[in-house]
Chain A
């Protein structure tokens, strides 16, 4: 007995002290708060007996703001659930309902949740929807996804259809069609909200969204510095705000705060990146949320900093009237022609001086991976940097293999090293 007591008494001393994680910067905390507040607001609205909506990430949030409607975002929820390793269980639940595992992981998670399967990720719990807002500039899977939710709950679906665009500029016929849908959507949502569309609130939301977009772009722009004042990988977390809360002034302020922090780092020559930057890459595609740690590990080990993501230009849209707003909503990564897609990425690769490109072939996203191979060739040709692809999935961990990913990253690093040597004129 005494022996055991001695051992137990000794144990706390013997155990290694775990390094406390560095506290998140005020800017990062503010951004996290903005997202939490969106979920909290939805729960409060539900308690008050008000309708709560589930919305596509790129449905015009300004309209819901103008009508005082609380809205949450299944895509962000699915990403959060996947990141907290509850995604596989929900995907499986959806498959048990009859949804094929070929279907996008976000959709499967969301449909399972919609059918009543609760998640272990408490921060991502949300009330069941009273209406759904669907905008398919993200993808066409959205349409089927939201139709299914509407069917499960017997609720109204507001659909804003953004047709795929074959050219860089947005045709007036597109604007006219979408304008008609905007007006119809407003009418439908007025009935749901039980109140009239408030022009003033709409203008405020537009102003906030614009301000957020500008601040977001400003934050992303700090990655042009060599070395970058932050780990670009962090942008994936901040993206949640652009997705779920861009119509809120709180979000704009949070990004602006983060920008001032980054400004300080640039001035002082410091960085929040937890490793010295040796190589700079663009990470193409949605990250593999269940495997963020595995994604980051070899990048850190080889000193590879992500300094470019297509989400920067894709969500950094500003507008000053209804016409330009509609044109902005026509431009999502999966709704633009290949020339626009390549232009976005090559511009940011050049501006942010990348040495190579890591391409995520996302099993869950057919539209995103659809012209990826051709884009990769154009990157090789136009930017003169090596590229490497790897197989993964934004939400279903069964489609990602850590060993495979590490090999690809190592291959890319070696190729970048060789390429840099050649560019610097060193002999082979």
Chain B
């Protein structure tokens, strides 16, 4: 009989779920692009169950993480911080990982992993600079879609520096550049490098060691990833499951905790 565990990651901008079988095999996943405080979490849970034909009662253990994890107290057996879950998920996907860079909707986390255990971490959760929120603001100003930023940045031919460390000031800078007829792709490239600069600064607080893995929504932006690789001088590994990393970690922890319960029981 297979043991199913459900990991729920409720972020600020998206709700993600992963169902693992026997703590090894991913049988289902879901992502709803709205996060804590919306219908997103419930819809994500419904979908992940529907997609593999299982019911809530089939789950042996449910663990919630992310910004909105405390809203799942009735459903989940336990909640854990997204720090540990991202570390766990990244280690599952990349057994040689030492540094995890997670750029989420409203914060940036750098995790130090030694032998699969998280030993240190830093977070920027004080300001929007360098986070997904920063890119959202910039995309709006430039009148492009956030998901197009990566491809557009690749077309840049000239250096345009966006140097302000504050999102509000950076927005003014971008507007000022547009007013001077700077090319949008060049500005976007500058924005990517600005994010890379902020994130690499934070990464240095913990120290950057190979294997460097990036998780979180912003990892899908090729422009940011490339800029960050250049800034850090390290290759960055990204799994296609990057957005599900936190939920995966939660499902893994769920399985571990279920196992512990069996042993103690």
Contact = CB atoms under 8 A, between A and B. Distances in A.
A and B touch in their complex, CB below 8 angstroms:
yes
A389 B84 CA distance: 15
Contacts of B125: 401, 404, 407
B84 A428 contact: no
Interface string A251-293: 0000000000000000000000000000000000000000000
The secondary-structure label for the interface of chain B is: mixed
Contact of B118 (A373, A377, A391, A415): A415
Contacts of B256: 428
Contacts of B126: 391, 401, 404
Given A373-B205, A377-B207, A391-B126, A407 B120 contact: no
Contacts of B122: 389
A387 B118 contact: no
Contacts of B217: none
Contacts of B80: 410, 414
Contacts of B176: none
Contacts of B112: 380
Interface in B240-265: 256
A376 B120 contact: yes
A363 B116 CA distance: 32
B67 to A, nearest CB: 9
Given A373-B205, A377-B207, A422 B81 contact: no
A418 B84 contact: yes
B157 interface: no
A428 B38 CA distance: 35
A406 B115 CA distance: 25
B205 A414 contact: no
Given A373-B205, A404-B125, A419 B84 contact: no
B119 A415 contact: yes
Interface residues of B, number: 19
A95 B256 CA distance: 52
B83 A414 contact: yes
Contact of B121 (A388, A404, A428): A388
Contact of A414 (B84, B115, B116, B207): B84
A391 B84 CA distance: 20
A386 interface: yes
Contacts of A411: 81, 83-84, 118, 121
Contacts of B205: 373
A407 B126 CA distance: 13
B137 interface: no
A408 interface: yes
A389 B83 CA distance: 13
B118 A414 contact: yes
Interface of B: 80-81, 83-84, 112, 115-123, 125-126, 205, 207, 256
11 contacts: A386-B119, A387-B119, A387-B120, A401-B126, A404-B125, A410-B83, A411-B83, A411-B118, A414-B84, A414-B118, A419-B117
